[in-house]
Structure 1
């Protein structure tokens, strides 16, 4: 009897759009404004601290929950920014990237037959993790055109099997951000339920126009039921290091760590020491990051002012949504392929972030976390489209 491959556990999943578009960019020599990574270096101090940590011998396994010094610096940062006092030992777990943290948080509490509410468009790692837990994703679309949350629709989506709600602010891919009123509305929706909140806050330090980041950690009622996920890669321009962390109250952290310890066990040790030194010695980096990226946002928008793309508002993240309706009536995946192949600029289509894209939607995402020269070169090509 010949071997038969078991049925796939992820029938709707193929190679991610980020991988496909980056490969297409490489094949056609296109400037990659698709996948969300900077093309400039991490801070010099951080790089030097990494070398120093290796020279000091931090080459073996880090503690499963993360290097103590790093967790203490995370706790201090949270208190300084949000006024929330957390226990570095019981509440903070360092992970191998935010994606691992999201996966571990979902599998810590979500069981077969449960439902998890996600807000569309949403990052593409959410639903596969939900499916692998044997659960069902319930998609609630964000409101057009500003991608704000209709909290009544979220309330209506809650049922007896709802185990978790996933929110994301600053929001990838739209750049929308939560306000204090959103936190109050969210708390009101969850009050009286046993629903766990997963708050994806990887772009926490990239919020513009003088607006603070309204983390759920600012709201004690929400923090008491939340996994809050952050990313050092986004903050320090080192996405390839794949280091993030999760903050949760002790009972949730205990369940989270049960998954984490058998998923990656521990995270790259020298980088944890380097990040602890960076947080301790140079807190101005994350405090100045909003202005740093706002300058890049504004410059990118100015460079595209003469194009046929309609640029949507950007309140946070380092992504710019653009409507290409005046250019083409192709679907967004086909348009992005054409743009990369014919005009040598890679973008990301919006539809892979959505369960049911609205009819006639013509939106793509550009990453503006690029050096000035890259922005200028890409804009010249886009203005010519």
Structure 2
């Protein structure tokens, strides 16, 4: 452990590079919490779901206090009680929704696990966020995990081998995911991290900017429809909008889902800025970069827990915002959207980066 990390250990509950028993999952198997970090950022991850359990940001403006900026639970009881909150989980095989829980591929019909009405959400009821991942490397600054999804898992064809590598450098958290298959299969992988830069309470005063001129309109079940102009839909976030106002705009698209739960199509390609979230008056902010064609902006419209999260409070609608960089939802049924099919011999790569910042 380097000097910078050693110097900061006594200010946190856990040291980077450490691990501890976190509880047991629904099958009775042990779950481990593993910590990576720097003198500016401490991240606790679980080997269950490759889950981001906790992010603590060092705030020099507040006498070097550490602020929890990610939603999560103190032990497995919370995750088992509220699996459909997806707090911090790594999502797969397919992030977001597939309409009708089915798709056609190369002349064959595949029926999936319908866990969201008639649709499939986040890979089904036994998605990657609820699996045990194998820890393949753990240092004070990095954690690498691996998972194998067998042919037919959740109804999806082909075996899928996935690795996820989390890295902390300074005040940046980086996630690199790779996946390979032995048969053609649609793949969309993301992190379902919820952010709250206040550490607790509503995110209404947060300001969110998303540099996207287009968005997929959705129906009342959040299945995407046409690609529309953000201004025409009343969903324009390009200049930065406080979330309290954005998620209550008197427009049909917001009314349809009780807030924002929409796939934005950020401008540009490759690793680029897809969102920026800040909390005025605190100096805390985060810039999100990713190489995916879509980012689902979800304002926690139906978020509600009966188990306290970090800080001891119950989570309520609007207490967190999820910015999920991913492939376009329902793309397996939408030839007009970028293809999500991964072929044997190819590698699906996903790169997501959270650049946190605080005012001096």
| TM-score range normalised by the length of the shorter chain | under 0.3
Length-normalised TM-score, structure 2 = 0.23
- Structure in which a larger fraction of residues adopt helix: 1
Higher strand share: 2
- 1 or 2 for the larger relative contact order (CA 8 Å, sep ≥6)? 1
Structure number with larger C-alpha Rg: 1
The TM-score, its normalising length taken from structure 1, stands at: 0.22
